[in-house]
Amino acid sequence: MNMRAPNVWWAWVVACGALLLVIDLFFDWFETSVNVAGVVVVNTTSSGWGYSWGIVAGVLALAVIGTVLARHAVWTLVCSFAMLIATGITVFVGDANVSLPAAGVSVDTTRWAGWVGFGLAAVTAAAAMVPFLKALSATPRGLEPHGTT
Protein backbone atom coordinates (compact mmCIF):
# COMPACT_ATOMS: atom_id res chain seq x y z
CA MET A 1 0.00 0.00 0.00
CA ASN A 2 1.46 3.36 -0.95
CA MET A 3 0.88 6.78 0.54
CA ARG A 4 -0.89 8.32 -2.48
CA ALA A 5 -4.27 8.16 -0.79
CA PRO A 6 -6.55 11.19 -1.17
CA ASN A 7 -6.22 11.93 2.54
CA VAL A 8 -2.54 12.53 3.09
CA TRP A 9 -3.07 14.51 6.29
CA TRP A 10 -2.15 11.43 8.29
CA ALA A 11 1.39 11.49 6.86
CA TRP A 12 1.86 15.03 8.14
CA VAL A 13 0.52 14.06 11.57
CA VAL A 14 2.84 11.05 11.73
CA ALA A 15 5.92 13.02 10.63
CA CYS A 16 5.20 15.98 12.93
CA GLY A 17 4.40 13.71 15.88
CA ALA A 18 7.66 11.81 15.46
CA LEU A 19 9.65 15.02 15.09
CA LEU A 20 8.05 16.52 18.19
CA LEU A 21 8.86 13.32 20.10
CA VAL A 22 12.54 13.63 19.12
CA ILE A 23 12.53 17.21 20.41
CA ASP A 24 10.60 16.22 23.57
CA LEU A 25 13.24 13.61 24.42
CA PHE A 26 15.66 16.46 25.18
CA PHE A 27 13.47 17.71 28.05
CA ASP A 28 13.66 16.31 31.58
CA TRP A 29 11.48 13.19 31.74
CA PHE A 30 12.39 12.03 35.25
CA GLU A 31 13.26 13.67 38.56
CA THR A 32 14.66 12.22 41.76
CA SER A 33 15.00 14.03 45.07
CA VAL A 34 16.59 12.75 48.25
CA ASN A 35 15.44 14.51 51.43
CA VAL A 36 17.17 14.10 54.76
CA ALA A 37 15.50 15.77 57.77
CA GLY A 38 13.44 18.02 55.48
CA VAL A 39 16.51 19.33 53.61
CA VAL A 40 17.01 18.43 49.95
CA VAL A 41 20.38 16.73 49.74
CA VAL A 42 20.31 15.75 46.08
CA ASN A 43 17.93 16.73 43.31
CA THR A 44 18.62 15.34 39.84
CA THR A 45 16.76 14.99 36.55
CA SER A 46 17.18 12.85 33.46
CA SER A 47 16.08 13.48 29.89
CA GLY A 48 14.35 10.94 27.71
CA TRP A 49 17.67 10.28 26.00
CA GLY A 50 19.20 9.30 29.36
CA TYR A 51 17.49 5.93 29.47
CA SER A 52 18.28 3.13 27.00
CA TRP A 53 14.67 2.69 25.86
CA GLY A 54 14.47 6.45 25.33
CA ILE A 55 17.34 6.17 22.87
CA VAL A 56 15.49 3.35 21.11
CA ALA A 57 12.33 5.48 20.97
CA GLY A 58 14.30 8.40 19.50
CA VAL A 59 15.93 6.25 16.84
CA LEU A 60 12.56 4.73 15.95
CA ALA A 61 11.03 8.23 15.72
CA LEU A 62 13.72 9.14 13.20
CA ALA A 63 12.95 5.89 11.35
CA VAL A 64 9.25 6.84 11.28
CA ILE A 65 10.15 10.17 9.67
CA GLY A 66 12.30 8.34 7.13
CA THR A 67 9.56 5.87 6.24
CA VAL A 68 7.03 8.68 5.81
CA LEU A 69 9.41 10.47 3.46
CA ALA A 70 10.06 7.22 1.58
CA ARG A 71 6.29 6.63 1.30
CA HIS A 72 6.22 3.17 2.87
CA ALA A 73 2.95 3.00 4.80
CA VAL A 74 3.54 -0.51 6.15
CA TRP A 75 6.97 0.33 7.56
CA THR A 76 5.60 3.60 8.94
CA LEU A 77 2.98 1.62 10.83
CA VAL A 78 5.50 -0.93 12.12
CA CYS A 79 8.04 1.70 13.22
CA SER A 80 5.41 3.89 14.84
CA PHE A 81 4.04 1.04 16.95
CA ALA A 82 7.58 0.01 17.93
CA MET A 83 8.19 3.66 18.87
CA LEU A 84 5.02 3.66 20.99
CA ILE A 85 6.15 0.54 22.84
CA ALA A 86 9.67 1.90 23.45
CA THR A 87 8.25 5.22 24.66
CA GLY A 88 5.83 3.42 26.98
CA ILE A 89 8.64 1.37 28.47
CA THR A 90 10.67 4.55 28.94
CA VAL A 91 7.84 6.39 30.69
CA PHE A 92 6.77 3.55 32.96
CA VAL A 93 10.16 1.96 33.73
CA GLY A 94 12.68 4.81 33.30
CA ASP A 95 14.19 6.70 36.20
CA ALA A 96 16.69 9.33 37.27
CA ASN A 97 19.53 7.84 39.29
CA VAL A 98 21.03 9.19 42.50
CA SER A 99 24.09 7.56 44.03
CA LEU A 100 24.56 8.21 47.73
CA PRO A 101 26.98 5.85 49.47
CA ALA A 102 25.50 6.44 52.93
CA ALA A 103 21.82 6.31 51.93
CA GLY A 104 19.89 4.08 49.59
CA VAL A 105 16.87 6.38 49.32
CA SER A 106 15.48 7.00 45.85
CA VAL A 107 12.09 8.44 44.86
CA ASP A 108 11.39 8.73 41.15
CA THR A 109 8.87 11.04 39.53
CA THR A 110 7.93 11.06 35.87
CA ARG A 111 7.71 14.68 34.77
CA TRP A 112 5.28 16.26 32.30
CA ALA A 113 7.63 15.88 29.32
CA GLY A 114 7.52 12.09 29.65
CA TRP A 115 3.74 12.05 29.51
CA VAL A 116 3.71 14.46 26.55
CA GLY A 117 6.16 12.16 24.75
CA PHE A 118 3.96 9.15 25.42
CA GLY A 119 0.94 11.06 24.08
CA LEU A 120 2.87 12.07 20.95
CA ALA A 121 3.87 8.46 20.34
CA ALA A 122 0.24 7.33 20.75
CA VAL A 123 -1.08 9.97 18.32
CA THR A 124 1.64 9.07 15.83
CA ALA A 125 0.79 5.36 15.99
CA ALA A 126 -2.93 6.07 15.66
CA ALA A 127 -2.39 8.30 12.64
CA ALA A 128 -0.18 5.65 11.02
CA MET A 129 -3.18 3.27 10.99
CA VAL A 130 -5.37 5.61 8.89
CA PRO A 131 -4.38 4.28 5.43
CA PHE A 132 -5.31 0.76 6.52
CA LEU A 133 -8.75 1.52 7.97
CA LYS A 134 -10.60 1.36 4.66
CA ALA A 135 -9.07 -2.02 3.83
CA LEU A 136 -10.03 -3.37 7.25
CA SER A 137 -13.65 -2.25 6.95
CA ALA A 138 -14.21 -3.45 3.37
CA THR A 139 -16.46 -6.43 2.77
CA PRO A 140 -14.57 -9.31 1.11
CA ARG A 141 -15.54 -10.11 -2.48
CA GLY A 142 -18.20 -12.73 -2.90
CA LEU A 143 -19.63 -12.15 0.56
CA GLU A 144 -22.79 -10.21 1.20
CA PRO A 145 -23.76 -8.84 4.59
CA HIS A 146 -26.38 -10.89 6.41
CA GLY A 147 -29.96 -10.07 5.43
CA THR A 148 -29.23 -8.71 1.93
CA THR A 149 -30.25 -10.42 -1.27
How high is the pLDDT of residue 5?
A: 47
Residue 26: band (very low, low, confident or very high) from pLDDT cuts 50, 70, 90 = very high
Provide the pLDDT for residue 43: 74
Closest CA to 91 of 112, 119, 115: 115
**3-state class of 102 per DSSP?**
coil
For residue 21, give the nearest of 105, 109, 88, 94 by alpha carbon: 88
Answer whether 0.75 is exceeded by the pTM: yes
Q: Is the pLDDT of residue 4 over 90?
A: no
Backbone angles phi and psi of 107, in degrees to 5: -125, 120
Contact (Cβ atoms closer than 8 angstroms) between residue 129 and residue 7:
no
More confident residue, 18 or 136: 18
